[in-house]
Structure 1
Amino acid sequence: MSGKDDEGAISVYAQYARAVFALLLDTPTTFIKESVDKIRGEKKTVPYYHRRFNRVPTIDECYTDDELCRFEANQQFKRDRQVDNDILYILRKRWLRCVLSDIQNRNTTCKSVKDTFDNTRDEWMIKYGHLPVYYDVVNVFMKQKHRLINERRLKEKAAAEGNMADAGAELVAD
């Protein structure tokens, strides 16, 4: 007898052996482990309802022929954009709730909430504003690159004009 009957189901003897194993070996081991964990305080079961994703390489860290990396970077970008949208939505609701709760003094009592919302909205527009209808992480990365190049050019231009203004002031003074 091999422990199974003709139909492939587990026999009564195998079920009995499994129950004895669980009773004699598994139950005391599990009890000791849970007791030690309870004493150490390591097993804190706090429910966490949000899914956590590991960070993946950004698009600038991906090779041009690595489609999987580019896909993961695009998915990470979409999740980050959704988080930024949710933050902006929460701040807007917070500001509106403040305004509606104190309509008479809304400019003074809600000023800090409004400033936070305005700063976050401006940062969102810098990062995501004026994108094409169908965009991905490459479009956003190129937008960021162009913005940084433009800022550097403006700084160089302002520094050059400042030097020329200093030279012009010296000529006028002579």
Structure 2
Amino acid sequence: MLEEPDQDLYQESPCHTPAPNPQSAIPNPLDLVQKIFEYTVDAPGGTLSIANTQNMSYYYHQKFRSIPDLMTCLEDDYVCFFEAEMQWERDMKVNQEIVKIVQERLTVCTQWEGESHFQNCAGEYQKFKEVAKAYQTKYGDLGAYGNARKCLMKQKQRMITERTLNVVLRRFQ
């Protein structure tokens, strides 16, 4: 068992705090100003902030309803176009963050393992290659002004190219 600590080295703290000794009977004017400020400015604002926090929803808990992509919008449905555009921007930001997180994990593993990071970080490197390739396939070559429509056209072009390559390859087999 543990021994009792040495009382000479570890003295006990005082049990009671000494009471303040006022020097004069005249009240301090700063105390009066402080009380006036608390009751006129600070207290009403505090009750309002407490009332607002009860119904507050935090941004990272915000749930967006599922928006269909641009292909399902009707021809003159501009609201659907706008919603699909905003959904595409949110998806792009989420995918950018995924790439950043995987890249940070790879960097941490590389720094941690040192010279042997080629063997020990092979899984992280492979995951980063997959994520970066998927991001580049979807959002690459869109430029600074990429939007949902350009991304959709790029996807359609890629699908047409894959289909024609499959047809051409079947002819030569």
- Coarse TM-score class (shorter-chain normalised): 0.5 to 0.7
Q: Shift of the alpha carbon at 1:51?
A: 1.8
Q: Considering only aligned residues, what root-mean-square deviation do their CA atoms show, in Å? A: 1.4
Q: CA deviation at 1:48?
A: 8.8
Alignment gaps of 5+ in structure 2: 1-57
Among 133, 137, 157, the residue aligned to 2:144 = 133
Query: Is 1:118 aligned with 2:151?
Result: no
Counterpart residue number, 1:70? 81
> What are the superposed Cα offsets for residues 23-58 of structure 1, whole Å, 9 maximum, x if unpaired?
xxxxxxxxxxxxxxxxxxxxxxxx994321111111
Q: What amino acid does structure 2 have at the position aligned with 1:68?
A: V
CA distance in 1, matches of 2:144, 2:96: 17
In 2, Cα distance between equivalents of 1:75 and 1:83: 12
TM-score w.r.t. the length of structure 2 is: 0.65
Q: Distance in 1 between matches of 2:138 and 2:89?
A: 13
Partner deviation per Cα, 1:93-149 (whole Å, 9 max, x = no partner):
000000000111101110001100100000100000011332210100000000000
Q: Could you say which residue in structure 1 is the equivalent of 2:166?
A: 155
Query: Equivalent residue for 1:88?
Result: 99
CA shift in 2, pair 1:84/1:65, >3 Å: same
Give, in angstroms, the shift of residue 70 of structure 1: 0.3
Structure 1 unmatched runs, 5+: 1-46, 163-174
Q: Which has the higher helix share?
A: 1
Mapping 1:93-112, distance limit 5 Å: 93-112=104-123
Deviation at 1:157, TM superposition (A): 0.6
Indicate the structure whose relative CO is greater, using CA pairs within 8 Å and at least 6 residues apart. Answer: 2
* Seq. identity, %: 31
Summarize deviations over 1:51-77 as a string: whole Å, max 9, x none: 211111110000121000000000000
